[in-house]
Amino acid sequence: MNQQKCILVAEDNPDDFVLLRRGFEKAPLTHKLVHVCNGKLAWDYLLGEPPFSDRNQHPFPDLLLLDPRMPALDGFDLLRLLQSHPELSALPVVVLSSSLVESYAKTAKRLGAREYLVKPMDLDEYRDLALGLHQRWLVDSIPGAPHKP
Amino acid sequence: MEKLKTEIEELKSRLAEAEETLNAIRSGEVDALVASGPDGDQIFTLQGAEMPYRILVEEMNQGALMLIPDGTILYANTRFSQLSKTPLEQVIGSSWQQFFPRDKHPQLETHLKTTEPVSPPEEWSLQAADGSFCPVQLSLRSMSASGVKGFSVIVTDLTGRKQSENALRKTSAELLERNEALEAFSNIVSHDMRAPLRTMQGFVAILLEEYGDKLGSEAKSYLDRIQSSANRLARLIHDVLAYTRLSGDKNEVATFDLDKMMREIVETYPNLSGPNIEIVASSAKVRGHELALGQCVSNLLGNALKFVPPGRVPCVKFWTEATNGRLRLWVQDNGIGILPKDQGRIFDVFSRVHNDAAYEGTGLGLSMVKKAVEKMGGQVGVDSELGQGSRFWIELDRA
C-alpha cells in the first residue's frame, strides 16, 4: 500500500516546504517530495521542459501541492493553465494556502483544485495533513478506478 | 348753492350705481367675491380674485406651461423662461419640443396623445437656449378650458436633488472602496503575517522534538517562551480576521433554531458534560446570521469556561427569555465576575479587564459579539458581581 509516490510542491516559502517534509517524515511516509519555488517552474516541470526533461530524475508527479500566492505565475494562474491542458487536467491538485480567507477557497475550487487546505500552525497538524493527503490521493486503489474525492 | 346741489346729485347717482353693482354681484350677474366684515362689505372683483393665482404661478419655483394639443405653448411663467434661458416672449407661441433633446420628441408626442388625465411625473432633461441641459421632472395634466383642450405642464428643476444624489453616490462608492481596502488588508494580515509565524512555531517545535534532550532546561524554557508568544500572535491574527469578517456584509439573515445551535456549539467542547452545562430547552426561533451568532455564543461560552478562579469547576447555564417581541439568550457562569466599573468597557475592541496571565486573551472576543449582534439589529449586555459569576445576554428579534 505504501508505495512511494511523487509529490510536486510549488511553494515560494522554503520554510513551509521544510515543515511539510517534516510532516511526511513524522507520519512516517516515504513519498518523494519535489520542491519548486514558483508556478512557472511547476509548469515547466509538469511539461518536462528543461531543466526537468529527464523523467527518470524528474518523474511526473502523482499529486501537485500548490501555494496560491507565488511570484512568477501564481497558484491560481497555474490552475487555469492546467484546466485548459488536455492531459494535465487529470492531475489531482491540492491547494495549500496560509490564507484563512474564504474567497480563496472558492476560487481554488472553481479553478479545479480537488481540495483547499490551510497550512497547519504546528508539526502534529503537519503530520496529520501528510497522512490525510496520503489516504485521499496517494493510496493505490483498483487500477483504473477513480481516486476517492 | 347751485354747485352744492349738483354735487349731491352726483353723489346720489354714484351711490345708486354702487348699490346696483353690489346687487348684481350678490345675484351672481358679475364674478366677484363679497366678504362681509366689521368694517363693512369688502368686494373682490374678478380682477382682484385672479391676482393671487397669477402671483402663485408667476412666482413659483417651478416652471409652468400651458399647451394646446399640438404642443404649442400658450402660456409660460417666468421660472420656465429662466430654466430654458429663453425670453418669455420667445417661449410663448413656440413648440415645447424645442426645449427637449431631439431624441425625446417622439416621447413628447406620446404624452400629448395620452388619454390619462394625469401622467405620472417623469425625469427629463430640459435643453436651454445656450445648449446646456438641466435635469427636470415633468408633471403633465390634460385639461379643457371653455371647450379648448390642452395641457398644463409643471417643470421642476432637479439640479439640487441630482447634486445631492451624486454626492451620496460618491460617498457610498468611497465607503465601498474603503471596505474593500479593509478586506484586502485583512487578507494580507491573514496570509503574510501567518507565514513567518508558522516558521517560528514549526522550527521551535523541531528544535524541542529533535534536540530537546541535548538542550539544558533553561534553553528549553526559552524555546517554550517563544512558542507561547507565537501561539498568542496566532490567536490574535485569527481573531482580528474573524472580527473583520463579521463586519462584512455577506451574512444573510435567516430564521433558525437557537436550541439546536447551542447544543451543536456545546458539543464542540469535549470536556463539557452533565453537571458543567445546562441548556434550558425552549423551541425559540430567532432571526439573524446563524454563523455570526454561532461565533458569538461560542465566544461567550469560551469566556465562561476561561474566567473561573483556580480550582473551581466551571458551570454554565443557557436559557432564553421572551421580552416584548424579542428573545433574550442568557449565558450564566460561576466565574470570577466583573466589577461594575469595567462592565461598560468589556465590549470595546482590545479592551481587557484581566491582564493576568491565567486569563490570556486577545481582547477581541466580546467586541466581536457586540459587533455581530448589533449588525443583526440586536443588543448585548451583562449582569455581574465580582466573585459571583456573570450573566451575559444577547437580544434578537423573534422569528
Q: Residue type for B374, please?
A: E
- Please tell me if the domain spanning B60-157 has the same topology as the one spanning B250-397: no
CB atoms within 10 A of CB A19: 25
Q: Is B199 on the interface with A (CB under 8 A)?
A: yes
Residue pair B104/B136 in contact by the 8 Å Cβ criterion: no
Searching chain A, which residue's CA lies closest to the CA of residue B240?
A100
Does residue A147 carry a pLDDT above 60?
no
Beta carbons of B201 and A122 less than 8 Å apart: yes
Residues 6+ away with beta carbon under 8 Å from B177: none
| CA–CA gap between residue B57 and residue B74 (Å, rounded) | 14
Query: Crossing angle of helices B217-246/B365-375, nearest 10°?
Result: 10
Beta carbons of B206 and A101 less than 8 Å apart: no
Residues 6+ away with beta carbon under 8 Å from A61: A5, A6, A7, A8, A34, A45, A46, A91
Q: Which of A97, A121, A123 sits opposite B206 (nearest CB)?
A: A123
Mutate to test the interface with B, among A13, A122, A128 (most CBs of B within 10 A): A122
Q: Is A37 on the interface with B (CB under 8 A)?
A: no
| CA–CA gap between residue A93 and residue A112 (Å, rounded) | 8
| CA–CA gap between residue B373 and residue B367 (Å, rounded) | 10
Q: Which of A18, A99, A121 sits opposite B201 (nearest CB)?
A: A121
ipTM of the complex: 0.73
Q: What pLDDT is attached to residue A121?
A: 78
Beta carbons of A19 and B197 less than 8 Å apart: no
Beta carbons of B186 and A19 less than 8 Å apart: no
pLDDT tens, position by position, A93-116: 999 988 767 778 889 999 999 999
Task: Name the one residue in this structure whose C-alpha cell is 479592551.
Answer: B351
> Residue B193: which H helix or E strand, with range?
none
Searching chain A, which residue's CA lies closest to the CA of residue B244?
A101
| CA–CA gap between residue B393 and residue B373 (Å, rounded) | 11
Mutate to test the interface with A, among B180, B187, B191 (most CBs of A within 10 A): B191
| B138, HSE (Cβ side, Cα atoms, 13 Å) | 22
> What does each C-alpha distance from B159 to A107, B124, B135 come to in angstroms?
44, 11, 6
Residue pair B366/B354 in contact by the 8 Å Cβ criterion: no
Q: Is B295 on the interface with A (CB under 8 A)?
A: no
What is the end-to-end Cα distance of chain B in Å, rounded? Answer: 101
Task: Give strand pairing partners of B37.
Answer: B40
Q: Which of B190, B202, B206 sits opposite A99 (nearest CB)?
A: B190
Searching chain B, which residue's CA lies closest to the CA of residue A104?
B187
Cis peptide preceding A28, ω within 30 of 0: yes
Residues 6+ away with beta carbon under 8 Å from B151: B65, B66, B67, B69, B111, B112, B140, B141, B142, B143
CB atoms within 10 A of CB B385: 12
Q: What pLDDT is attached to residue B38?
A: 64
Does residue A143 carry a pLDDT above 60?
no
Residue A149 pLDDT class (50, 70, 90 cuts):
very low
Domains of chain A in start order, with CATH, are 6-138 (3.40.50.2300)
Q: Is B211 on the interface with A (CB under 8 A)?
A: no
Mapped onto helix, strand or coil, the DSSP state of residue B245 is helix
Q: What pLDDT is attached to residue B141?
A: 86
Residues 6+ away with beta carbon under 8 Å from B19: none
Residues 6+ away with beta carbon under 8 Å from B233: B193, B197
Residue pair B126/B134 in contact by the 8 Å Cβ criterion: yes
d(CA B164, nearest CA chain A) in Å? 35
The yes/no answer on whether domain B60-157 falls in CATH 3.40.50.300 is no
Residues 6+ away with beta carbon under 8 Å from B75: B64, B65, B66, B92
| CA–CA gap between residue B372 and residue B351 (Å, rounded) | 17
Contacts of A116 in chain B (CB under 8 A): none
Q: What pLDDT is attached to residue B37?
A: 62
Q: Residue type for B24, please?
A: A
Beta carbons of B241 and A100 less than 8 Å apart: yes
> How is residue B163 written as a grid cell?
447634486
Taking one residue from A and the other from B, the number of pairs with CB-CB distance under 8 angstroms is: 53
d(CA B225, nearest CA chain A) in Å? 15
Q: Which of B348-373 are b and which e, b meaning 16 or more Cβ less than 10 Å from the residue's Cβ?
A: eeeebbeeeeeeebbbbbbbbbbbbb
Q: What pLDDT is attached to residue B30?
A: 55
CATH architecture entry for B250-397: 2-Layer Sandwich (3.30)
Beta carbons of A15 and B202 less than 8 Å apart: yes
Searching chain A, which residue's CA lies closest to the CA of residue B189?
A99
Q: Is B357 on the interface with A (CB under 8 A)?
A: no
Q: What pLDDT is attached to residue B355?
A: 67
Q: Is B187 on the interface with A (CB under 8 A)?
A: yes
Ordered by start, the domain boundaries in chain B are 2-48, 60-157, 163-228, 250-397
Q: Which of A19, A69, A100 sits opposite B198 (nearest CB)?
A: A19
CB atoms within 10 A of CB B88: 14
Contacts of B187 in chain A (CB under 8 A): 99, 101
The phi and psi torsions of B12 (rounded to 5 degrees) equal: -60, -45
pLDDT in tens, chain B (399 residues): 778 888 888 888 877 777 776 676 566 555 555 556 666 666 656 555 577 777 888 888 899 998 888 888 988 999 999 999 999 888 888 888 889 888 888 888 887 777 677 777 788 889 888 888 889 998 888 887 667 788 888 999 998 888 999 999 999 888 888 877 877 777 777 677 888 888 898 899 889 888 888 988 899 989 988 888 888 888 888 777 777 777 665 556 788 888 888 888 887 776 676 667 888 877 778 888 887 888 888 888 888 888 888 888 888 888 888 888 888 999 999 988 888 888 888 888 777 777 666 677 777 888 888 888 888 888 999 988 888 889 999 998 887
Cis peptide preceding A51, ω within 30 of 0: yes
Residue pair B101/B57 in contact by the 8 Å Cβ criterion: no
